[in-house]
Amino acid sequence: MNASAFDADVIVIGSGPAGVSVAFPLVEAGLRVLMIDGAGPEGKINRPQSKPWQKMLGPDLEALLPEDGLTPKLRGPASRRIVGKFQRAGHVRGEGFVATGAYARGGLSQLWGGFACEFGPEDLATWPFPIDDLRPSYKTVTERIGISGSTTDDLAEFYGSSGLLLPSLPLGPTAAQVFRRYKPGQHAPEFALGAARNAILTIDRGNRKACNLGLDCLWGCERGAVYDARFDLEALQRHSCFRLRDDALAIKLSSCRGGWEVSTADGRKS
């Protein structure tokens, strides 16, 4: 059965980290899940370049253009391929800020630095559910995607402690020197140092290899050390109650007969 004929119980829009994390418990509970994604499989691929600098700056040095409104993280050639279609489509516009999205398999997980931090009680103070309701999900996601960090330094409580962590990434020489001089509890209350909490492997896992500090994070980690939602999407597609429709761009969500109807840019509805 193809995606267009799939009678779904739940429709998930987007194949990024949030989308796959929502889909996993649903399909494992036996619900039929249709995921609608606005882009094909193109990702942050290290395309052959005649010189190394072209990989980072682009053949026309487009990554050095400060007037394009993009952060340095989004100016690189690979990032432009991922976010460019979203910006050209213009379905979402920002006033006073740059609205960024990705019409690419795996969403913006192809661009992030892997930073991972849980919400705390103060973050959800006005929400209709307590933080304890999220902890089982945090634990599951942490152990599924692989998160490295420390549970003993002064930032451990800030980052959260749900799930088993991998060892921290090694510090660079400058950071290591600063950390050696840092005395826990002897500084201002609002100042604390600790290891980064990142969705980056420090131990090999299946086809994904541990980070080797190759500094290719913004241009495509060929080792798969930095988490990318496409890794989990492959696992989801092995479930018989999951379908991916990657030829449609969702532009409108409407209530319909006690449920929801998704309209896509090509005029179809799900």
- In order of their start, the domains of the chain are 3-40+234-264 (3.50.50.60), 115-199 (no CATH)
**Distance linking the first and last C-alpha atoms of the chain:** 15
pLDDT in tens, 168-197: 999 889 999 998 988 877 767 778 899 999
pTM for the whole thing? 0.83
Contacts 24+ apart (CB under 8 A), 55-64: 55/219, 56/218, 56/219
pLDDT, position 67: 65
Q: Which long-range contacts (CB under 8 A, 24 or more apart) does 238-242 make?
A: 239/27, 239/28, 241/27, 241/30, 241/31, 241/32, 241/33, 242/23, 242/27, 242/32, 242/33, 242/35
Question: Is residue 148 pLDDT above 90, yes or no?
Answer: yes
Would you put residue 38 in left (φ > 0), alpha (ψ -120 to 50) or beta? Answer: alpha
The per-residue pLDDT for range 71-82, each reduced to its tens digit, is: 777 777 778 778
